[in-house]
Structure 1
């Protein structure tokens, strides 16, 4: 691996020209905080249009789980493209079935799993919300402050990591009650066990005095919270949340769009605590950069809705399925173990930095899902 190589002032002249052209024809809603116009990428390296080379520590936008343009993924896409670019969801194809079988084989669920296919994380979450309402006959949900689950109107109702994502879009989907996500470093409750305190608050504060538990279809939560601060919940939190859902007949939806597919050193982050969801949402790293999302559910839950209850146009696209199958091969064979090993090394070295610098308040994470909190 090489280090960065800068040939021009940043942004370079070609980047400036492209950014100016783009501003005239593209929505200004994209964040785009940095004047970076990309040309191509290989592995963990990316080049801008002026030939400057950088290291990509963000894996695209947490999607390039095997690096940029891994040869195995590219070859799988090319092979699939020679047969079909698109297949209607009204029909069957081998790639989609193989991917559903592959995910079912590794899904951390208490019974066989079934999958619904989409193009993104937010679509996977929307499908999970619809299924939860359909399967339970209930309308309400519990979400978590600081969470990010997408930007379409259903998933946006659960997203509270940045106010700008909600501003001037209200009302979003009704029926969502937000509770704090446990943060031992910045506790909101008295006592040492913030995870227990949050679950007790849901049981005693929300269910008894605000939202009846028998009206709640599901609890939607990130097993490790991403945009909310890369928070690692205390041991016991997810287990208690699972038990709470079981007591009240509520479905547990784990959003593993960012944490899944090996990023934390396990295929799914919930496996660190051996917690089994009723519904799981996947996207981002699943396709090594290709637009694919999946909503995975226990068979008994998925079979609640009949043919025609939900669907889409591009879900199960053959190129995306081929990319996902190649990605899972690589993650299982190499990258999941690498995330655990390199993540442990990073964690240890970050803790060494913390010991020397008072500005680092906390080091936290699992695998390569890591953060430092500056104070």
Structure 2
């Protein structure tokens, strides 16, 4: 078994899954909830930077970042040191009943980089879904209104309030109804699939105006809407960036009717897009943002950050026993140090390097219909027919599986998109290695697909 992790490239030493991985998979099947989704049989043992080593000594390049969580890479030494130091001093007293100075320190740091004017207030939780639950309750509390607007394709979490906003896959809702009432879903703009010949900006504005022209005239009175929840880049919707014109129109609608604009930055925030927050690419200031995933490099922490006047609830309205845990906050402060010093800028630089390369894929690569995104939050959409843009989720899955076998960890997003989301400390050299393998996998799957089509035509003739 390997005793050292390198970044020279992936190293696959066994058939996948290896014998130790097989043993773990058998135990998992016996005792772990079957509700978890696993794309391929990776059994992680340790990691460093963009490299994950499994229990059989195979080394992979992680271009999923633990689902956009390990923003500073796996086990960044500064983050590890901060965790170790804090764990030796104080692990828990509960910030809902007592005080930690570090809660203020992190709140002030986040306030300085917030995408809306201050002053601000923060609420701490443990996960993205908890941040969304906070934002949902606070929106209703502050506005004294009951209705919420969310979008088709959105993923905001799986707890009951967050799930009520989520509209990503039917399985996420199946057999859990009734959900939290008062949530209305509307279309989210998809520039790749807009009507042919439509101007991009006009299309984006028209999608937002669906609220005024349809929802507010036939279904819900706007003065009863508390908030609009939106992802500036839809994650599970397929890594779809919101056009600036769409977000700007939403902001106008919110201002007109006294509605709060809540941006879910759980996956897109903390520098992943080359800016601190994805909404900054749109020129819009939200009223609240929800933060998690990359904020603490793998430690459980989330934040609901709002304009100060909005967080006007009284003691007992909402709380979390573990939210703002001292160890998690120490990890977040160390993470911000790394991101401020190099991560955010590197996400912009390496993200442009990757986009310059993959931007040519729709023209020259079989199966690739569209590429999109910002920084290191990039999506590659797979289609089986470029004229009809027919989604090809099964071919995307085949590419993801083949890449795993060759040592690169990618994940799908939405029905037919592959996400490119490495750690923000990834190098251009590491990115090129991962893209070389991804190109090879796409070509291999395309060749098999073409061969299958010809065989089918022959059988049918």
Shorter-chain TM-score bucket reads over 0.9
Conservation of the 8 A alpha-carbon contact between 1:141 and 1:216: yes
**Residues 139-175 of structure 1, C-alpha deviation per residue, up to 9 Å, x if partnerless?**
0000000000000000101111111111111111111
**5 Å matches for 1:202-281?**
202-281=211-290
**Deviation, structure 1 residue 203:** 0.7
**Does structure 1 residue 46 correspond to structure 2 residue 55?**
no
1:300 to 287, 309, 316: 309
Which of 132, 142, 162 in structure 2 is aligned with 1:135?
Answer: 142
Q: Which residue of 2 aligns with 1:194?
A: 203
Contact 2:243–2:282 (8 Å) recurs in 1: no
**Consecutive unaligned residues in structure 1, runs of 5 or more:** none
Superposed displacement of residue 355, structure 1: 2.6
Q: Secondary structure at the match of 1:46?
A: strand
Aligned-partner Cα distance in 2 for 1:28–1:351? 38
Equivalent in 281, 293, 298 of residue 289 of structure 1: 298
Say yes or no: does 1:82 pair with 2:88.
Answer: yes
**Corresponding residue of 2:394:** none
Cα drift, residue 189 of structure 1: 9.9
Displacement of 1:73 after TM fit?
0.2
Measured in 2, the distance between the counterparts of 1:158 and 1:190 equals 32
Cα separation, partners in 2 of 1:189 and 1:98, compared to 1, 3 Å:
farther
Q: Could you tell me which residue of structure 2 aligns to residue 117 of structure 1?
A: 124
Count residues with an aligned counterpart: 374
CA distance in 2, matches of 1:39, 1:191: 50
1:110 & 1:244 partners in 2: Cα distance?
19
2:94 is the counterpart of 1:67: no
Does the CA-based 8 Å contact 2:209-2:249 persist in structure 1? no
Structure 2 Cα separation of the partners of residues 102 and 335 of structure 1: 16
Q: Give the alignment partner of residue 377 of structure 2, picking from 365, 369, 373.
A: 369
| Residue 332 (structure 2) pairs with residue 324 (structure 1) | yes
Contact residue 189 and residue 197 of structure 1 kept, 8 A: no
Report the equivalent of 1:360: 368
Separation in structure 1 between the aligned mates of residue 61 and residue 197 of structure 2, nearest angstrom = 43
Partner of 1:106: 113
Task: Find the residue that maps to 2:38 and give its secondary structure.
Answer: coil
Q: Who is 1:169 aligned against?
A: 176
RMSD: 1.3
TM-score, normalisation: structure 1: 0.97
Q: Distance in 1 between matches of 2:208 and 2:31?
A: 48
- Mapped partners of 2:245, 2:80: distance in 1: 41
CA contact (8 A) 1:183 1:194 kept: no
Say which is worse superposed, 163-172 or 358-367, in terms of deviation.
Answer: 358-367
Report the 3-state secondary structure (helix = DSSP H, G, I; strand = E; otherwise coil) of the residue aligned with 2:70.
coil
Match of 2:432 in 1: none
SS of the residue 1:41 aligns to: strand
Structure 1 partner of 2:26: 20
State the partner residue of 1:58.
64
Distance 1:214 1:102 in 2: 35
- How many Å apart are 1:235 and its aligned residue? 2.6
CA offsets, 1:26-69, max 9 Å, x none? 11110123111111111100011011111000001210000000
Equivalent-residue separation in structure 1 for 2:53 and 2:221 (angstroms): 54
**Residue number in structure 1 paired with 2:11:** 5
Q: Which residue of 2 aligns with 1:156?
A: 163
Contact 1:140 1:215 in 2 (8 A): yes
Q: Which runs of 5+ in 2 are unaligned?
A: 1-6, 384-461
Counterparts of 2:26 and 2:366, CA distance in 1: 42
Please tell me whether Structure 1 or Structure 2 has the larger radius of gyration of its CA atoms.
2
Moved more, 358-367 or 156-165: 358-367
